[in-house]
Amino acid sequence: MLGSILKHFNHIWFVLVAAVLTTLLLNPEWLSRESIAQYLAGLGTMALLVYIALSLSRALLMIPCTPFVFAGGIAFPQWPLLVLLISVAGIVAGATLVYSFPSFGSYDDYLESKYPEKVALLKRKMQSPYAFWFVVGWSFFPLVPTDAICYVAGMAKMSYKKLISALLLGELPLVVAYIYIGVEAGEWLRTWLGI
């Protein structure tokens, strides 16, 4: 039984991710920062543990960290440093997973055959002397998925330490800004709602 599950792990994982993503596409409001913060607030004392679990596991479903960082600022305005640490841990966990993932299930071969020019270009960037700064810039730009650059860095065999250092350098200013905006938005919402 276990051998059968392991043999078909890629298919099972693909179906699971597709089902969750389809559900989220049909219900996009579930991923709004307000929805996540409201869900966390409804959990009471378990909210922080659930927030940690969600932040660390969101990369399994390739969900961006941004809504979770905002939600953390909204839900836990009294602990911005803790939200920062949890968010950074979630980013590192997600980057580690995606960085390590390319060879699993031969997805690197699939991507290289499907998008040879794009993958080749990104690989060249990852193997250039400016790879560190390329990752910093990519991570700092909020409109591109950070997981994509981690995935290609794994395919290009970029040093893990170099990737994580560049990723954190690029992501930290954004995460701090998102937490600050989340805390301010949360305060405004609480004042407006009279909570």
Specify the pLDDT at position 160: 93
* 60-90 pLDDT per residue, tens: 766 788 888 888 888 888 889 999 999 999 9
Burial (0-12, 13-18, 19+ Cβ within 10 Å), 172? middle
Q: What is the CA radius of gyration of the chain?
A: 18
pLDDT level of residue 175 (50, 70, 90 thresholds): very high
* 4-60 pLDDT per residue, tens: 554 555 556 556 656 766 776 677 676 666 776 677 667 777 888 888 888 888 877
**77: which 2 tokens?**
């305005």
Question: Distance between CA 191 and CA 151 in Å, rounded?
Answer: 42
**138: which 2 tokens?**
């990519």
**173 within 8 A of 140, measured Cβ to Cβ:** yes
Provide the whole-model pTM. Answer: 0.70
Tokens 């031969």 identify what position? 106
**166 within 8 A of 136, measured Cβ to Cβ:** yes
Question: Distance between CA 80 and CA 52 in Å, rounded?
Answer: 14
Nearest to 36 by CA among 1, 69, 2, 84: 69
Quick one: how far is CA 150 from the chain centroid? 11
Specify the pLDDT at position 2: 47
Per domain, the residue ranges of the chain are 1-31, 33-193
pLDDT, average across residues 176-185: 88
On the question of pLDDT at 194 being above 80, the answer is no
Between 2 and 126, where is the model more confident? Answer: 126
Question: Distance between CA 18 and CA 119 in Å, rounded?
Answer: 23
Specify the pLDDT at position 174: 92
Specify the pLDDT at position 187: 76
**How far is the first Cα of the chain from the last one, in angstroms, to the nearest whole number?**
52
Question: Distance between CA 16 and CA 59 in Å, rounded?
Answer: 14
pLDDT level of residue 164 (50, 70, 90 thresholds): very high
Specify the pLDDT at position 168: 95
Question: Among 51-65, 94-108, 144-158, 167-181, where is mean pLDDT lowest?
Answer: 94-108
* 100-149 pLDDT per residue, tens: 876 655 666 766 777 788 778 888 888 889 999 999 998 998 877 787 78
